[in-house]
Amino acid sequence: MNQYYTEVELPELEWKIDHQSKLMMVGSCFAENIGIRMQELKFQVDMNPFGIVYNPLSVSRSLKLLMEGKQYTANDLFEHQGVWHSFDHHSRFSSTNAAEALDRMNEQLKTSAEHLKNSDYLIVSLGTSWVYEWKPTGRIVSNCHKLPAADFKRFRLTPGEIVDELKELMTALWKFNPKLKILLTVSPIRHWKDGAHGNQLSKAALLLAVDRLVTGFGTEQCAYFPSYEIMMDELRDYRFYTPDMVHISNQSIEHIWQKFGSLMFEVETQQLMKRLSKLSKAVGHRPFNRNAEAYEKFLFYNLKEVEDLLKKFPFLNLSKEKEHFKRELDGYQRRGK
């Protein structure tokens, strides 16, 4: 059979993720694309405790704040057009009520700091080497929150600056959690507002920096997953993008997910994932006739599947699934009376 694309070679890693592994995912929206899939398949994933962050300095600051046990106060917030924000956080943490915003931030920080301390894997997706510096203080922000562009100085980090920052971060992370393995990747999502050339320069700086880090530290605790290269080489066609021609399509995410899985999951884990995927689809099933006997059999079958999975894999969190099928079955039986 003819092959119509060049296949990207994956690194050889002894690392393997299973459902007992704890993971943290930080970085661009690509990290969320993969993280959401892992959460749906019942992996123990904590994802972007500050929300989506794109540049290496903001990724580094986020993780350092977790290690420090940072708690936010009113002095860390600012108000813009009636909404309270933090320069460290995505707008999903913002609120018209300052106390509510602080509660959201600090509750997530406490949970995520504990998760990071016990994580087996940290997956970092770097999106851009462009950063925004807030002129009044000279600090790099994770999110501008639609403040006037004139309030910021925008510039691109050099590979050396990225290496220096992430090298310091990774050294601190391994002191904080010696067993942690760090998987770096460069997001395949383009930052087209920089233009074609500007986007490539930005990605190139990230790629050069990551290569120096992995080469310097070795693959025992640090490695690279080529999501950017898979998109550029195996999926080099606009049909693999969304209509905005910038973000990647669900088909592309699925393809990269499959490549990721072939590298990181043992056969037994992949088999469990298939069972959990079927269970997830069963939860979302909406029958044409809720009073049909076939629906009762469907509910009994899936409730038994939940119980069988919990017997074999007691560490799985299937409480919502179990409650769903029990509730539907109780409703069916009440209607039958």
pTM more than 0.85: yes
Examine the domain organization and report whether 238 and 123 are in the same domain.
yes
Give the residue numbers spanning the domain of 289: 275-336
Q: How far is CA 162 from the centre of its chain?
A: 21
Count of domains for the chain: 2
Examine the domain organization and report whether 292 and 175 are in the same domain.
no
pLDDT tens per residue across span 173-214: 999 999 999 999 999 988 887 788 988 999 999 999 999 999
Q: Nearest to residue 179, comparing CAs of 117, 123, 224, 225?
A: 117
Examine the domain organization and report whether 150 and 227 are in the same domain.
yes
Examine the domain organization and report whether 295 and 181 are in the same domain.
no
For position 146, what pLDDT does the model report? Answer: 93
pLDDT tens per residue across span 112-154: 999 999 999 999 999 999 999 999 999 999 999 999 999 999 9
Examine the domain organization and report whether 299 and 220 are in the same domain.
no
How many angstroms separate the CA atoms of 46 and 123, rounded? 10
Contact residues for 49 (Cβ-Cβ < 8 A; gap 6+): 24, 26, 62, 66, 108, 109, 111, 112
Examine the domain organization and report whether 192 and 299 are in the same domain.
no
The helix (run of H) or strand (run of E) holding residue 152 is: strand 152-156
Of 246, 265, 284, which marks where a domain is finished? Answer: 265
Q: What is the mean pLDDT of residues 286-301?
A: 90
Examine the domain organization and report whether 73 and 156 are in the same domain.
yes
User: CATH number, domain at 101?
Assistant: 3.40.50
Residue 170 pLDDT > 80, yes or no?
yes
Number of helices (H), then strands (E), in the chain: 10, 10
Residue 276 pLDDT > 70, yes or no?
yes
Examine the domain organization and report whether 220 and 326 are in the same domain.
no
Q: Nearest to residue 186, comparing CAs of 207, 201, 205?
A: 207
For position 238, what pLDDT does the model report? Answer: 80
Residue 1 pLDDT > 60, yes or no?
no
The helix (run of H) or strand (run of E) holding residue 24 is: strand 22-27
Percentage of the chain beyond pLDDT 90 is 79
For position 200, what pLDDT does the model report? Answer: 93
Contact residues for 271 (Cβ-Cβ < 8 A; gap 6+): none
CA distances from 195 to 123, 129, 202, 259 (A): 28, 14, 10, 29
pLDDT interval class at 2 (50, 70, 90): low
Examine the domain organization and report whether 96 and 215 are in the same domain.
yes
Q: How far is CA 85 from the centre of its chain?
A: 22
The helix (run of H) or strand (run of E) holding residue 78 is: strand 78-80
User: Would 1 be classed as within a structural domain?
Assistant: no
Of 41-50, 92-101, 186-195, 290-299, give the lowest mean pLDDT range: 186-195
Examine the domain organization and report whether 158 and 124 are in the same domain.
yes
For position 224, what pLDDT does the model report? Answer: 96
- Tell me the average pLDDT of the chain: 93
pLDDT tens per residue across span 203-259: 999 999 999 999 999 888 999 999 999 998 888 888 888 888 878 888 998 999 999
Q: What is the mean pLDDT of residues 310-336?
A: 92
The pair phi, psi for residue 327, each rounded to 5°, is -65, -45
Of 234, 265, 296, which marks where a domain is finished? Answer: 265
What letter does residue 55 receive in the DSSP assignment?
S
User: Would 207 be classed as within a structural domain?
Assistant: yes
CA atoms within 13 A on the CB side of 11: 21
Examine the domain organization and report whether 256 and 318 are in the same domain.
no
For position 290, what pLDDT does the model report? Answer: 86
Examine the domain organization and report whether 100 and 229 are in the same domain.
yes
Of 219, 241, 265, which marks where a domain is finished? Answer: 265
Residue 306 pLDDT > 60, yes or no?
yes
